[in-house]
Structure 1
């Protein structure tokens, strides 16, 4: 950390994560993992548990930042850490909206901007696939039983149209019994 100040470091971690997001919060998952788990700021189990809980509640994945800020092992944690992380991760998009809004109509009609956004959207699909694979699949699907639970949860969501909260509760129960 450049300043040595844990609060500034926490702001830096989540501000940078928020500034790299395009296309949804799941794109930031690998960056959040690298900045929190791999640096020792958050335990790997807490990261996955928080990510799972974030999937069970309505709202943007960015609220996961509040959980990560609350469970940090260095610097501000608890309510203060949660507040700092949540504000820092939303700040870049708020600044972008305020800066671009006056020019939005002109920008969205520009052919070059449309082509750039098409390319960025394609890149986002790759990042989402990477975020699904690592850390979710590599850390969460560790044996045949966990693969079956994950596959059943996927089928319940996509084919049976089961509410996400019910799938999370069912998968948690199945995991507690089988894993």
Structure 2
């Protein structure tokens, strides 16, 4: 089983690996997409009542960077350029029967005039993206009370990711 380096800085394990379960490995990306105004993209998910950062699964034969760019465009309509900091954090989740490693990136918004192209599942879940300051986004994510176990995993993951991103954002200001 592929495992992220749990000794690396900015690595968080969410959930507990159950030795009696078999897990499907999944790699994904998370992106803190920053506008020059200081606002970031954040997605509210009505079904489950939680907020998330743009991101999703890495497809076969796709690099983490390409997946990050694609997911932001699909979920927000924005075109972004990844910062040269590379992956600034990873999370490793054991949820249900999935072992997911998320690779987290900072990006600058190049164009935010596009429209999202959400999947039927994302539309059914009520995905709505919005732009808010980093502090406001962290506050909204932290205050949300997810109504599903999945939402609770996402909240823990993305609050961690955004809190780690803040140091990198402040350092580049």
Q: Normalised by the size of structure 1, how large is the TM-score?
A: 0.27
Relative contact order: is structure 1 or structure 2 higher (C-alpha 8 Å, sep ≥ 6)?
2
More helix by share: 1
More strand by share: 2
Q: Normalised by the size of structure 2, how large is the TM-score?
A: 0.28
